[in-house]
Amino acid sequence: MICPLCQYGFNDKAACRGCGISNQCALIQCPNCGYEFVEKSKIVSALSQFWKYWKERNRKDLNHAENSNIVS
């Protein structure tokens, strides 16, 4: 995992995942700078992967269409 503030890379198991008051807190605390942030959700990750797949697929389709229109 990489801290979005200081770019420090760390193992998420070493990060604080709560303060004892809230056992199921979604915040992760960077052990280097102390910045707390929310880990990316599974839905956001899935949508991001789909968007990358869709863009790559359309790029390949566009390249194929352009190559088929070239007159030799």
How many angstroms separate the CA atoms of 58 and 67, rounded?
Answer: 14
pLDDT of residue 22: 59
In sequence order, the β-bridge partners of residue 6 are none
For residue 36, the cross-strand partners are 29
What pTM was estimated for this model as a whole?
0.48
pLDDT given for residue 67 in this prediction: 65
pLDDT in tens, the chain (72 residues): 888 899 999 987 666 655 666 566 778 888 899 898 887 777 888 888 999 998 888 887 777 666 666 554
- The pLDDT, as a whole number, for residue 42 is 78
